[in-house]
Structure 1
Amino acid sequence: MYTCIAPQQPRCGCPPQPPPGQRIQPPADCRPGPIPPNPCVPKFPGKDTWQKYRNIVVFICFPLMFFQAFTALGHQTPSKTECREYEYMRRRTKRFPWGRTGTKSLFHNPRCNYLPGECGPPPLDCD
């Protein structure tokens, strides 16, 4: 635990008042000394803490990233299931700027995403 120390008193006293019109000169032995270290600044243990963080990145972060990439790339996308075309789904107010038809979004996957008009009509509400 660090404790802050109150500022120390100057080593030199105030010089006597000079006669009017004369400059004040400090005594010759009153020179500023080296600045002491601040006790309120936290001290970090060790000089080679970068090695600890390097080891954490190399032995923990990189293997976790490779494992996640392996599991994500090994995943199979689901096939298309039955779809109903409701009026609030797949609304297109203007064409996308890529592709010939402009109906496919940037991340369109033809194995699991439907385009407008591919789904059947919704069931009738007979209430």
Structure 2
Amino acid sequence: MASWTKFARSFSRKYSVAPKFDGSHGGAEQFDAQLLWKRLSYFVGFPAIGLAMVNCYLSHQAHHDDERPEFVAYEHLRIRTKKYPWGDGNHSLFHNSKMNPLPEGYEE
């Protein structure tokens, strides 16, 4: 039993996640690594997320005025076996009248 507690104590000291600033093994290196990842997050990660957001917005705006595709009444698409439990039962929950056709065609 004593050997187990000795092992657990040495393991917890060796692999502790708290930074040590007393100059012992792992203190300064761990603090430097933490600072590195903090700076990478702020100066690389967040700008990359921002640039991706701008790219998505500009891509959406470039296709905003595209004409909708021609309606073709395929038999295997827009099958309604029972009504939706909201509204008139024919429109999906997130229906977009400009882009989503009904089984009969687009709404005018």
Match 1:73 to one of 48, 57, 60: 57
The answer for the alignment partner of 2:19 in structure 1 is none
Identify the residue that residue 118 of structure 1 maps to in structure 2: 105
Shift of 1:104: 2.6
Q: Superposed, which structure 2 residues align to 1:36-51 within 5 Å?
A: 46-48=29-31, 49-51=33-35
Indicate the structure (1 or 2) with the bigger Cα radius of gyration. 1
Task: Give 1:107's aligned residue.
Answer: 94
Report which structure shows greater RCO (CA 8 Å, sep ≥6): 1
Number of aligned residues: 84
Deviation at 1:46, TM superposition (A): 0.8
Structure 1 residue 62 displacement after superposition? 1.2
Structure 1's consecutive aligned runs of 4 or more residues displaced over 4 angstroms after TM superposition are: 41-45
Please, what TM-score do these two structures have when normalized by structure 2? 0.56
Q: For residue 30 of structure 2, give the secondary structure of its aligned residue in structure 1.
A: coil
| Identity level (%) | 27
Equivalent AA in structure 1 for residue 73 of structure 2: E
5 Å-filtered alignment, 1:76-87, equals 76-77=63-64, 78-87=66-75
Say whether 1:93 aligns with 2:81. Answer: yes
Q: Distance in 2 between matches of 1:104 and 1:56?
A: 46
Structure 2: which amino acid aligns with 1:90?
A: R
Question: What RMSD over aligned residues (CA atoms) do the two structures have, in Å?
Answer: 3.3
Larger relative helix fraction = 2
TM-score, scaled relative to structure 1: 0.49
